[in-house]
Every structure is written in C-alpha cells, then in structure tokens.
Amino acid sequence: MIRGISLLFLLVFLSLFVGSFMAADISLGSVLYASKPNQTWSSPSGKFSLHFLQITSTTYSLSITYDSSVAIWSAASADSSTAVADSSATFQLLTNGNAQLLNGSGAVLWQSNTSNLGVSHGSLDESGDFILMNGSISVWSTFDHPINTIVPSQNFTTDKVLTSGLYTFRLSRIGNLTLKWNNSITYWTLGLNSSVNVNLSQPSLGLQTIGILSLYDNRLSSSVIMAYGSDYAESGDILRFLKLDDDGNLRIYSSSRGTDVSTVRWSAVSDQCLVYGYCGNWGICSYNETDPICRCPSENFDPIDPHDSTKGCKRKVELSDCTVNATTLQMDNTRLLTYPPETSNDIFFVGISACRLNCLSGGSCVGSTVLADGSGQCYIKTSNFISGYESAALPSTSFVKVCPPVVPNPPSFSEEAGNGQKLKGWIIAVVVLCTLFVLVLLEGSLWYFLCRKNPKFGGLSAQYMLLEYASGAPVQFSYKELQRSTKGFKEKLGEGGFGAVYRGILANRTVVAVKQLEGIEQGEKQFRMEVATISSTHHLNLVRLIGFCSEGRHRLLVYEFMKNGSLDNFLFSSDEESGKLLNWEQRFNIALGTARGVTYLHEECRDCIVHCDIKPENILLDENYHAKVSDFGLAKLTNPKDHRYQTLTSIRGTRGYLAPEWLANLPITSKSDVYSYGMVLLEIVSGRRNFDVLAETNWKKFSLWAYEEFEKGNVGVIIDKRLAKFEVDMDQVMRVIQVSFWCMQEQPSQRPMMGKVVQMLEGIMEIEKPPAPKAAQEGSVGGTSRKSSNRISSFSTVEISAGAPFSSSSFQTGRGTYSERPSSSLPRDGK
C-alpha cells in the first residue's frame, strides 16, 4: 500500500530533486552580520536560508532554516550544543576557503576547517544543504555534518550521529536505530523486521519527502520502512524532518510553509518517562493528567534547578556525610530504570525485603528496584546516575538509600483530591454492596422458600449462582470452573488485542464468552478494582461483564455471549455469504447503538472510560442485531496511567482506527474514541476498510477519496454496492457520512462529543457541512505545536492544545467548529 503511494509521489519527489541541482553561489570573502538580521544567504527559491537566528534579545545562532524559522542545522560548539554568538558576531567565508563564526570579541566559535582545500565558493541548495565547493566538487557540507536534525535527501550513514545534550542517535552496521544516553545506556532500539534476512553492506537512513523513514542498502531489493509520520503521503508544501530533541526523544515533524509551526507526527519513545535520564539524576518521572512531570524521590533531596525540574535532584545530606547508619526510602509503583548494560552482578532473584536489605548492607548500593511481576528480579543500583519512573501501572517497588530521617514528599494536590474521591467511592461501594447483599439474601430466602420442593430446580447452589449472575455484581470464578465450562478452552471465538476469547457454558446453562487476558501487568488489587469499574458499567449497548477470575497468573473475564459475533464479519465478508449481509436499517441502528454505548462510557457512567480501541471487531451483535460494544476498560488494565500502549507494534495493530494523537504522542482523550468511531461509521456505510487503497479510489485511502466524492456531491459511490437490493434511507446515509467526517477531524477539539454524535445521527441536531478530515492547509494542524522560533525548546515547554480529558466544553472551543469551510481545504492527495 505504502509502495503504491510512494510511486504516486515519485513525480513530486523527482521535481523537487531536479530543483535541488540549482543553488545560489556565495563567493569567497562574503560576510554575514548578526547585527543585520535581515541579511541571509538563501537557496534559489528562498525556501532555505543561512542566517543569524535570534535566540534571546542579545544572543544568536548561525542556522540554516526552512521558511526563515525552522532551524534544520546550527553551528555547534565542541560539545555539540548550539554555539551562542553575540550581537556583533560575524560569519565569514574567508578567501582561503575556511568558513568561520566569530564572536564580537573575535573568538572563533565554530569553523569548517576547510582552508587550503581549494574551496572556490559556497552554495545553499534547494534541499537545505550548505556546501563548500571546489568547482563542482563538494569539499564540506552541512548534510555530512548533521547536528540534531536530518531532512529529506540527507543521507544518514553509520559514521554519523545526531546529538542533543547527553543523548545520541545512531544507525548501526546491522541496520538498528538506537537512542543512547551518555553513550552508555541504550533506551530505545528499532531493528529491521526479522523477515528481512540479509547482512547489510553499507546501510543508510533517509527520510522521504512524504514522511517515511526508510533504510537503504544495496543488498536490499528495496528500501525498508522503519517508521512513518502520521501525515505521511499528505501533500502540500510541507517539510518533514527527523529531530533528536533535547528531551531525548526522536521525532518526525511536519512543518507547512508559511506557518512557523512544527507538528509532531511520530516519536520513537511513545512513553516519555522511559527516556533514560529525562528527569535528570535522581529525578522521578510520572504523568499528571497530560504531561510527563519530574519530581525528587523525597524531601531528602533538593531540585538542582528550582525552575527546571528536568535538571534532576541532589541529596540534602550525602551518604558519606551521614552521622548515623543509612536507612531506605520505599517508593511504591516506582522503577529505577534498568536498561542494559546491567551486569549480572547487579541482578538478584530475591523477595522484596531481601532486595531492600541487600542494598542497605551493600556499601556501594544507592538504590534498588524489585519487580513484583512474579519474576522476583531485584536490581541493585551502584551507578552515580539514577533515573526513575513512577506509575500506578508499574509492578515494582524501589528503595533509595538515604540519611535518616526519611522525609516523604508532601502529597500533591491532585493526589489529595484523588484520595478524597476514592474515599467517597468506597463509601458508595460499601452502601451499594450492603444493600445488594440484603436484597440477594431476601430474594434468595424467598426462592428457597418457594422452590424448595420443586424438583425443576437443581441444587440450592445453582439457584444462588443464577441470582448472582442476575444481580449485576461480578461473580468470581475459579480457574478450574472456567476450564470446565469452556471444556478446556476448546472452542475459540476469536483473538482480540488483549487475548483469546472462548465459548463456555456455566453451571446454570448460561452461554458465555471467556476472555483470557494476556500481558496484564497489574497486581490482584488493581485488577479487582478495574473489574469492579467495568462491571458497574451497564448499558443496553455495552457487553455485560458477568464475572472474572484472578488466580495466580491467570486473569480471565467472563462476558455475556453475543450470538452474531462481531461487526467486521458482516461488513467485510467476501461476497454474498447468505445471511451475512446487513440491510441499511440494521446498519443505521448499529451505528446509533454503538454511539449510545460509547456516549455512556464517556459521559454518563460514574468512572468515565476512554475505550481506546473502537473498531468493527469490538462491536458485537446480539441475536436481534443490536450493537454492543466490547473490550471497554481493558486499555486501562494494561496501562492505566496514560491510556497508551507501550509499543508501536501494538499501535500498528489497529492503525486504521487510531486517532492522529496516538502516533504523535499526544494525550489520549475521549475525542480519540470519537475519531475511531468516525472511521467505523464510514465503514458501516461503505462496507470496506477505510485504509484500503484500490484502483477504483484513484489509489487513495478510501476515507480521503470518500471525502472528495462527498465534496463533489457523489454520495452514491460511497455506499456499499451490496446495499443496492435494499431500501436505503438517503437522509440517514447523508447524516451518517457527514457525522463520520466530523468525527475524523484531525484536531481533537474539532470533533464532536459522543453525545452530540447521537443527536446528529438521530436528526435532533442540525449538521453543518464538515470540513476536510485532514486540514493539511490550515496553520496549526495537529496538537503539539512548537512555535519554531529560535528558542531551543525543552519538552516541558510544549503546549498541548487538546482539551483536558472528558472536558464537556471542548466541543465548542475549536476554531470555527461546525462552520462551513471553503472547499479549498480538501486534501489534495496525490497530484
């Protein structure tokens, strides 16, 4: 599919490439002055320019910029950080061929070291490469000396390195991309797909103009895709670039010409807290609602820079200055990050208290982490640099050696509020449970009294079970029971993102679906709490949780059984399998039912739930073809704190339905569900996958093609051809299509809340014409926007424009929400 698209863009690419041969010459003896900010050496079209870029009111950097604002290269001092020049600095291309950046004082801040190499002139070409030439031969170029950014047509080979502070990015001989901290700790690596079985000779990495990061090698039959930005293949005057940011994350950005804004389209480490050292030495990373934040382990530590928490912490009293014996500070749900190389001397297999004592008695130990995931691994930390991660999802406990007394951090405001709510929650739960218990007891004794002598009813216990299933409280099953009821997990119904599902029959003859969860990193207690939340969520359009099992490592969920399976079987079934085709009325009711179910999750139930994985596979149909949403609340089980999957591979799993913010590493809110729902909605109408790229859709993603046809008024071609033999309410079709485009808006704030979606589908609310789903031409598309000024922004200055999760007002806050857009905002995909 991607290859098809890249073919399409070959033309665009070629025309740019041809353009890159033209370049503006800069003759020897030319000088740039920091005091003349408008003076630049530009590429022929003016797209790129070399000039002094103002950092603060008195300091400048010498940079090559795209569109005069986005720096893609800057002269760097010896430690690879940007060289800081003052307002009387100059940049000279000397007559001997050396290029020099001088401070006002005359100090050399940077030089190209090209004197007497026959340099005849310099040039800046259309791809942004500043080259010192001997005639037509390149003697030195900025593309060969990257700092922290690479742009399309720049060749990144194994001898090159991107540097940002202590972080580096390299390409290895075997084709692995790696991110390292202080050249010692590898915290991210991405290798070739294991199906690519060749020994590379001279691998090189390149970013295609359309936003795909590819690996090239002459032993490979074609280039291999390593990563892509979420807006890949979208057209427009956009520069994509790969940058190692100073927060240690590697990102693909897009910047539209004339906007000054760069938008994150992909990030290597999706969980920022997993970047080693992001919070500095002894800094503990965690998330508030939206952002990663840094804290010290306890009040036994002081922040190094009170204004920048990512700088880390230092002990108030060094261990060596301690007058009494050291003690340990216990930190629950916290991991002192462990990445190779960890010597085997530092890993033990012991229990929690032994892990603590091992550290306390070890002279060089400063802290230890024990994994409470059943492996019993205990890591002893002797290094003088410690990076920590705290999250309710982490099954680890850490101990930090401190000089007594231990002074814990004061609870943060949000924690206090959380505790208050928890307490309230507990009181409600206890009251409800007591009431239920009394009711069940009453009902039970009534049944017992009435049916005792009735042979139709089996043993007493079976009746109790029946009551229990009906009462709504989740039933706890033993693993043996479930094994028996599924006949040893024989009849597999399907394989979801969280594990396989089997058909089972309970003792009372109820048919159920039993889901065997995999990859649950949580302890017993949290699991039960999540189960309680899920099972307290009752709605006609949500699959009901009957019970659960939590025994040792086994975590299973028991759901009511849905006779007709999942929606995808009906939508995408090949050819007219009899009875496997839904008519329009059924489809519309499924769309509406799903919307109601999700609305309930988002807006109406007590503990609001973001589903995170809405797709046809998770919409089940009962015997009357009523939609019931399944798998809600599970994303929270695997990673409750940030609602995010850990690895990119699992994101790719259901890529077709993921909102752009997933790939851009932005907060996931209920609006992300709205996006996925919009994708499903279009598929309900069209009966095919939105991400299919076919000849009949001009080799475009179906959803993009559909919008173009909608724009032209050709709604008929979007509708599933198999619906021709049924009656179709065109009014409803129109509403569904328009709602789906509203839901697919790239900007989360532009998407309607789920409750509004229901009203629009029902026809209660007027629907205005939706703008193009991807507003590629608009200024600040996407969420995270960095004003790409000269400021070298750190992660903590990122502005998140997406609304707070579950904010009911964000529907109205978007720019021009629900207003008519000029048709020029069409996605110009392709040509």
Ligand X SMILES: *[C@@H]1O[C@H](CO)[C@@H](O)[C@H](O)[C@H]1NC(C)=O
Binding site for ATP, residues?
515
Binding site, by residue number, is 515
- Catalytic positions are 613
The answer to whether residue 157 forms part of the interface with ligand X (CB under 6 A) is yes
What 8-state DSSP symbol labels residue 82?
B
In the bound complex, what is the minimum distance in angstroms from residue 59's beta carbon to ligand X? 5
Q: How large is the C-alpha radius of gyration of the chain? A: 30
CA dihedral 741, 773, 619, 541 (to 10 degrees): -50
Rule CB under 6 A: say whether 792 interacts with ligand X: no
The identity of residue 313, as a single letter, is: C
Listed in order, strand segments (DSSP E) in 97-154 are: 99-102, 108-111, 121-125, 130-134, 137-141, 149-150
Is 85 a residue that touches ligand X (CB under 6 A)?
yes
155 binds ligand X (CB under 6 A): yes
Choose between 84 and 505: whose C-beta lies nearer to ligand X: 84
- Verify binding: residue 198, ligand X, rule CB under 6 A: yes
> Does the footprint of ligand X cover residue 176 (CB under 6 A)?
yes
| 293 lines the binding site for ligand X (CB under 6 A) | yes
303, β-bridge pairs: 313
CB 780 within 8 Å of CB 801: yes
**Least spacing, CB of residue 293 vs ligand X, in Å:** 5
Place of tokens 């995808």: 568
Cβ closer to ligand X: 128 or 547? 128
Site for ligand X in 211-250 (CB under 6 A): none
* Rounded Cα distance, 638 and 443, in Å: 37
* Owner of token pair 């006002």: 104
Three-state DSSP class for residue 93? strand
DSSP assignments along 599-630, one per residue: HIIIIISSS----S--SGGGEEE-TT--EEE-
Q: By C-beta, is 10 or 430 nearer to ligand X?
A: 10
173, 189 Cβ separation under 8 angstroms: no
Residues 114-133 that bind ligand X (CB under 6 A): 117-118
State yes or no: residue 724 binds ligand X (CB under 6 A).
no
Q: Is 190 in the site for ligand X (CB under 6 A)?
A: yes
**In contact, 399 and 328? CB cutoff 8 Å:** yes
- Element holding 505 (H helix, E strand): strand 499-505
How many residues sit close enough to ligand X to count as binding (CB under 6 A)? 41
| Strand-by-strand arrangement of the 292-295 sheet | 292-295, 283-287, 387-390, 334-336
Distances (CA, A) of 358 to 277, 361, 366, 367: 24, 5, 11, 10
Residue 106 in contact with ligand X, rule: CB under 6 A: no
54: CB partners within 8 A, 6+ apart:
37, 60, 790
**Taking the complex as a whole, how short is the minimal distance between the CB of residue 176 and ligand X, in angstroms?**
4
Q: Kindly tell me which residue out of 27, 45, 96, 182 binds ligand X, with binding defined by CB under 6 A.
A: 182
Q: Indicate the residue among 173 and 563 with the shorter CB distance to ligand X.
A: 173
Would you call the peptide bond into 341 cis, given omega within 30 degrees of 0 as the criterion? Answer: yes
State the virtual CA torsion across 297, 301, 304, 305 in degrees, nearest 10: 70
Rounded CA separation 408/301 (Å): 10
Which of 107, 428, 429, 451 contacts ligand X by CB under 6 A?
107
Selected from 96, 138, 288, 823, the binder of ligand X by CB under 6 A is 288
- When the beta carbons of 38 and 454 are compared against ligand X, the nearer one is 38
| Nearest alpha-carbon partner for 146 in 122, 129, 123 | 129
Q: Is residue 134 within the footprint of ligand X (CB under 6 A)?
A: yes
- Is 189 near ligand X (CB under 6 A)? yes
Q: Which lies closer to ligand X via its Cβ, residue 148 or residue 537?
A: 148
**Among 124, 86, 130, CA closest to 112:** 130
Binding of ligand X at residue 393 (CB under 6 A)? no
Window of 2-10, 105-113, 260-268, 674-682 that interacts with ligand X by CB under 6 A: 105-113
Options 290, 510, 583, 793; binder of ligand X; rule CB under 6 A: 290
Residue 194: CA atoms inside 13 Å, Cβ hemisphere, count? 0
Among 27, 95, 138, 202, binds ligand X (CB under 6 A): 202
User: Which of 15, 56, 57, 105: binder of ligand X (CB under 6 A)?
Assistant: 105
Which of 208, 740 has the CB closer to ligand X? 208
Nearest distance in Å: CB 767, ligand X: 32
Binding to ligand X by residue 797, rule CB under 6 A? no
| Least spacing, CB of residue 724 vs ligand X, in Å | 35
Give 105-116 as a 3 state SS string: CCCEEEECCCCC
* DSSP secondary structure string for all residues of 363-404: TT--EEEEETTTT-EEEEE-SS--EEEE-TT--EEEEEEEPS
- In angstroms, the CA 498 to CA 516 distance is 8
Q: Beta-carbon neighbour count of residue 118 at 10 Å?
A: 12
Binding map of ligand X across residues 407-436, x = CB under 6 A, - = no contact: ------------------------------
Minimum CB–partner distance for residue 82 and ligand X (Å): 11
Contact between 576 and ligand X (CB under 6 A)?
no
Among the residue ranges 102-110, 452-460, 553-561, 698-706, the one whose residues contact ligand X (CB under 6 A) = 102-110
Minimum Å gap between C-beta 492 and ligand X is: 22
Q: Which of 32, 93, 109, 826 touches ligand X (CB under 6 A)?
A: 109
Nearest CB to ligand X, comparing residues 176 and 780: 176
Measured over the CA atoms of residue 335, residue 336, residue 338 and residue 344, the dihedral's sign is negative
By CB under 6 A, residue 327 contacts ligand X: no
Beta carbon nearer to ligand X, 155 or 819: 155
Q: Does 508 bind ligand X (CB under 6 A)?
A: no
Dist CA 707 CA 818 (whole Å)? 16
The answer to whether 825 contacts ligand X (rule: CB under 6 A) is: no
The yes or no reply on residue 35 touching ligand X (CB under 6 A) is no
Among 27, 45, 95, 113, indicate the residue that binds ligand X (CB under 6 A): 113
Which amino acid belongs to residue 721? K
Nearer to ligand X, 112 or 533 (CB): 112
Of residues 95 and 823, the one with the C-beta less far from ligand X = 95
Strand blocks (E) in 69-194: 70-74, 85-86, 90-93, 99-102, 108-111, 121-125, 130-134, 137-141, 149-150, 156-157, 162-164, 167-171, 177-181, 185-190
Does residue 195 bind ligand X (CB under 6 A)?
A: yes
Query: From the list 289, 305, 415, 518, which residue makes contact with ligand X (rule: CB under 6 A)?
Result: 289
Query: What single letter denotes the amino acid at residue 356?
Result: R
Q: Does 84 bind ligand X (CB under 6 A)?
A: yes
Q: Does 823 bind ligand X (CB under 6 A)?
A: no
Phi, psi at 150, each rounded to 5°: -125, 145
Residue 759 in contact with residue 741, Cβ under 8 Å? no
15 interacts with ligand X by CB under 6 A: no
- Which residue type does 326 have? A
Cβ-based nearer residue to ligand X, 134 or 793: 134
Contact between 595 and ligand X per CB under 6 A:
no
Min CB(506)–ligand X separation in Å: 38
The one among 111, 115, 327, 759 contacting ligand X by CB under 6 A: 111
Question: Taking contact as CB under 6 A, which single stretch among the options 77-85, 259-267, 347-355, 558-566 is the one that binds ligand X?
Answer: 77-85
End-to-end CA distance of the chain: 17
Strands 545-551 and 475-476: parallel
Which residues sit at the interface with ligand X, rule CB under 6 A? 38, 59, 78, 84-86, 103, 105, 107, 109, 111-113, 117-118, 134-135, 137, 145, 155, 157, 176, 182, 189-191, 193, 195, 197-199, 202, 204, 288-291, 293, 325, 385, 796
